Amino acid sequence: MRYSYMPGCSLLSTARGYDTSARAVVRELGSELVELEDWNCCGANAIESVSYLLSVALPARNLALAEQANRDLVTSCSSCFLNLFKVNHRLQREPALQGELDEILAVAGLRYRGKCRVRHLLDVVANDIGVEAVASRVKRNLSGLKVVPYYGCQTVRPYGEYDGPYLPTSMDRLIEAVGAEPFPYLWKTRCCGGVLMTTEKAIGMSLVSELLAAAQGADCIVTVCPMCQMNLDAYQGEISVQLGVRIRMPVLFLTQLLGLAFGLSEKELLLDQNIVPVSGLLRQLQTV
């Protein structure tokens, strides 16, 4: 299967490991991500807080470009996913919006008719490609590895289009498919604080601390959102100092974990870019 692919801005920088591993893993699984040409920022959470119309128009430009390509538009970022998906939802819900959007996109020589299907990469891997296909590619045994499936909020909320909006299971099934064990975790979709880590750090730190504390006992956390990965991975040093407990929990993108199971190298998965080192995890894998 071929998909149009929009990696999103974070995947060009702080989450490059996600982009690289996502492309490699999907290729291994026999599908293809064709990057949407000249895509733009979807607006993340920020734009809706300053302008409603811009929060529709920015993702809609990408949708208009993808509509021409006539393939599902896949994104690996949960914020991009929500913003793109929301445009379709709003066009159905607000009859007046189509006219306004037409007027705005016309200045860019574009038109969006609301026909592009928006998909999260997790949905594609779990439901199009499927658990059996993933299991059949496994070359390296991950058995014994306890993995926290952390979905984050916008991966499944509010629409719950392809999985449960509160306690989803698609990532759990993929973790099992590669022989690892999903760690029981009730905070699968609890918010990581998103941008509060920058604007109101004390609150962001407290949310992330709670998520990390609940993950103790597991070997690593996996996630499918660049923001979640960054928040959980980058502040563990500071949190350890604050709490007086040493926390060193590797936080991988789901596609990095799948890639390891498929026998891809650390380099191919850019694992060296993760902030908490994954070397201990790799040693553990060699011994099983």
Partner 1 sequence: MAEKTFNLTRDMLDHTFADLVTPDREKLLTCIQCGTCTASCPTAYAMDYTPRQLWRLIQLGLKEEVLTSNSFWLCTACYLCTLRCLRGIACTETMSTLKRMAVSMGMEKLSSSARFYEAFRDTVRRHGRLHEVELMITFFGRAKRLGAIGYTRLGFTLWRKGKVSLDASAVNIRGLDQIEAIYRKVEELEAKP
Query: In angstroms, what is the minimal distance from the CB of 53 to partner 1?
Result: 5
Long-range contacts of 38-44 (CB under 8 A, 24+ apart): 38/65, 39/6, 39/65, 41/8, 41/9, 42/6, 42/8, 42/75, 42/77, 42/79, 42/80, 42/83, 42/84, 43/83, 44/9, 44/79, 44/80, 44/83
Nearer to partner 1, 30 or 277 (CB): 277
Nearer to partner 1, 70 or 96 (CB): 96
Nearer to partner 1, 129 or 154 (CB): 154
Residue 96: Cβ within 10 Å count: 7
Q: Spell out where 185-233 has E strands.
A: 220-223
Check if the beta carbon of residue 147 is closer than 8 Å to that of residue 257: yes
Nearer to partner 1, 185 or 235 (CB): 235
Query: In angstroms, what is the minimal distance from the CB of 271 to partner 1?
Result: 11
Nearer to partner 1, 135 or 162 (CB): 162
Query: In angstroms, what is the minimal distance from the CB of 166 to partner 1?
Result: 7
Query: In angstroms, what is the minimal distance from the CB of 266 to partner 1?
Result: 14
What phi and psi values does residue 145 have, to the nearest 5 degrees? -80, 125
Nearer to partner 1, 79 or 170 (CB): 79
Two structure tokens written together for 200: 């109101």
169 three-state secondary structure:
coil
Two structure tokens written together for 177: 């498919």
Residues making contact with partner 1 (CB under 8 A): 9-10, 12-16, 38-41, 43-54, 57-58, 61, 94, 100, 103-105, 107-110, 153-154, 157-158, 160, 165-166, 189-191, 193-196, 198-201, 203, 207, 234-235, 272-273, 275
Q: What angle do the packed helices 254-261 and 16-28 form, to 10 degrees?
A: 40
Query: In angstroms, what is the minimal distance from the CB of 2 to partner 1?
Result: 23
Query: In angstroms, what is the minimal distance from the CB of 12 to partner 1?
Result: 6
